[in-house]
A and B are shown apart, each in its own frame.
Chain A
Amino acid sequence: MTVSERPAATATPARTRRRVPPWRNPWRRPYVLAAITWAYILWSLVPVLIAIQFSFNDGRSRSTWQGFSRQWYCCNEGSVFEDPSMFHSLRNSLILGIATVIVATPLGVALAMGLTRWRSRASAVANGISLVPLVTPEIVVGSALYLVVVNLYQFVPLGRPAMLLGHVTFTVSYVLVIVRSRLLSIGGEYEEAARDLGANSMQAIRTILLPLLTPAVFASAMIVFATSLDDFVVSQFLFGSADNETVPILLYNAVRAAPTPALNALASILLVGSFLALILAYLVLRARRRGSDESALESLADWG
């Protein structure tokens, strides 16, 4: 350090401290914003944690803690796995989620590849149509599907088939958005190289494009699964009869009746299911991006 710098370095902070009021000092620590953010995090998560806590309550109450027990999960009368309607709803949700992944993922991946690489006026129109479901309120999607299934596609019964059609319709756009962003970042050079080396288009897709897309395809499959598991509105318009209730529908109908902590247990199982799917998606994306947690989280955020 040189001699001329020393007095300046000691004098400047002293002057700043004396003259600048705290709200004018740009280097002040953002305590207020930090407090708001942490308060929001607590406000948004603590109620859910308390609800999970009450799923382990050793009594029928959902508002007074009576000790720890696992009786509402398994093997007692009225527990999730013994109550026929709850167990049924869990099975319905799982089957529907898996079926939605199986149909929506290939459909969405093919759509993404087609729309990204095919340049024409028709593709622009198809592109527009495929993004509208993302911004359409669920009640409009749900009621429109309900009316078309009841009045026109009468060969589709309300219940699991109709719910599958509905879930695929609004999840295809998620797959499209995720896979397309990956396709755009890959660019067309690898396929062109493959074709210059003598591969035909199908071979180029199978040996070059699909392996490159695998993480995005897997992540979108997991997001489709979690979205289908969590959907309430579209399912409620299309489920038809009580046999086909999914977990969210059962939760909605039971919350105003006289619920036991088994309802909290069911909600907790649903939560674990969708979080497992997301953690898998996150881990695959992170492995892909060589350990950058934040960019993986941010891409999950961007795909909302």
Chain B
Amino acid sequence: MPDPVSEKAPTKAPDHDRATRRLWPALALPGTLWLIALFVVPFYAVMSVAFSGQINIFNEPLPAWNPLNWEWSTFGTVLQDSFTPSGAYHEVWVRTAIYSFWALVICVTIGYPVAYYTARLAGKRRGLILALVLAPWWINYITRMLAWVNLLQDDGYVNKVLGLVGIPAHSWLSGSSFTVVWALAYGYLPYFIIPLFASLDRIDQRLLEASRDLGIGSVRTFLHVTLPLSRLGLITALVITALPMAGDYYTNTIVSGSPNTNMVGNQIELFLLEGPQKNIGASLVLVLSLVLMFFMFYYLILTQRASREATR
């Protein structure tokens, strides 16, 4: 039984303190181990397969668990085929970049006004508008694509509506880049709007009022006050959207299904799940991760700089 007086003292009894000190790491341990075993180790497995030099009887690569046995030939070939203009995967990488770029342009054009209106101007209906803007975020992605496949069929509502204004029916679902880019934008817009909404919501109204009181018009207030203050939110939104978009393979399979619209994700899925050349698939995963990590680091540097400026 501990002495009640020592319990009340500002420095706690050493016994008690040691037990507490052990308790928190013990609580964190299972989750940390789980993430090491199922997130860190799997990533190492990707490297072991990508750098594997041997194959088994099914022609599948045998993972090289020991870094000393790593062979760089497959990875080197994949790297070369990805970034030289005549390489086998070059076209797919370029297409991934172009599709992601245009889809992000659409996201900014539609998403910024929507986030701005919801965060700052929605007034009395703010709760309703926010709920409606958030709703698609929680509808299954595949279901949302399925909904568009219904509408875009040759005898679907889109062609019927276009027919009313005299535009001839168009076959939307057979390998159209236009459809894929709009489908990507449609799919990822909810993920784009939310971080932007959060950052626009945090802007101090008094700053905008000060700008108005100094006689500056809405456009210049937006360019010189709102936009710089929401820059970090905009970049977060772009990164959060661009990362999954660059690895997307299901959107174009659903709305196009043609190899002419294949992205990097399609190649990865093909090599990993449908063929024996898993080392090529794993190498493509590594290249994709490296490209995306570059953007992640850029983003982390920006956020750190921003938080340093905020505390200064």
Contact = CB atoms under 8 A, between A and B. Distances in A.
Interface string B266-300: 00110011000010011001001100100010000
B101 interface: no
B113 to A, nearest CB: 5
A48 B127 contact: no
Interface stretch (A4-12, A66-74, A76-84, A267-275): A267-275
A224 interface: no
A3 B257 CA distance: 75
Residue with the greatest number of chain A CB neighbours at <10 A, chosen from B30, B35, B116, B239: B35
A33 B43 contact: no
A285 to B, nearest CB: 13
B31 A152 contact: no
Nearest to B25: A118
Contacts of B136: 44-45, 48
Interface in A115-138: 115, 117-118, 120, 122-123, 126, 129-130, 132-133, 135-138
B46 A144 contact: yes
24 contacts: A30-B117, A32-B113, A40-B114, A64-B155, A114-B31, A118-B28, A123-B25, A137-B243, A137-B288, A138-B247, A140-B46, A143-B285, A152-B41, A176-B31, A196-B8, A201-B20, A230-B138, A230-B141, A248-B142, A270-B140, A271-B143, A293-B127, A294-B126, A297-B131
Given A148-B42, A152-B45, A232-B142, A54 B272 contact: no
A111 interface: yes
Given A135-B243, A137-B292, A107 B34 contact: yes
Contacts of B223: none
Contacts of A133: 35, 39
Nearest to B273: A237
A145 B113 contact: no
B146 A251 contact: yes
Interface of A: 23-26, 30, 32-34, 36-37, 40-41, 43-45, 47-48, 50-51, 54, 62-64, 107-108, 110-111, 113-115, 117-118, 120, 122-123, 126, 129-130, 132-133, 135-141, 143-148, 151-152, 165-166, 168-169, 172, 176, 195-196, 198, 200-202, 205, 226, 229-230, 232-233, 236-237, 247-248, 251-252, 255-256, 263-264, 267, 270-271, 274-275, 278, 293-294, 297-298, 300-302, 304
Nearest to A144: B42
A249 to B, nearest CB: 9
Contacts of B244: 137-139
Given A200-B19, A237-B272, A267-B146, A147 B254 contact: no
B135 interface: yes
Contact of B140 (A26, A146, A230, A256): A230
Residue with the greatest number of chain B CB neighbours at <10 A, chosen from A47, A107, A108, A256: A47
B221 A26 contact: yes
B interface, size bucket: 35 or more
A37 B36 contact: no
Interface string B240-257: 100110111110011001
Given A45-B135, A226-B138, A117 B24 contact: yes
Interface in B151-189: 151, 153, 155-157, 186, 189
Given A23-B219, A236-B273, 10 more contacts: A33-B113, A54-B150, A114-B27, A123-B28, A139-B265, A143-B282, A248-B141, A267-B140, A267-B142, A297-B134
Given A146-B272, A275-B138, A297-B130, A48 B27 contact: no
Nearest to A191: B20
Q: 3 tightest CB-CB pairs across the interface, nearest first?
A: A114-B28, A111-B31, A118-B24
A36 to B, nearest CB: 5
A164 to B, nearest CB: 11
A247 B147 CA distance: 15
A182 to B, nearest CB: 15
Residue with the greatest number of chain B CB neighbours at <10 A, chosen from A137, A248, A271: A137
A267 B146 CA distance: 9
Given A37-B133, A135-B243, A201-B23, A196 B7 contact: yes
Contacts of B133: 37, 40-41
B140 A33 contact: no
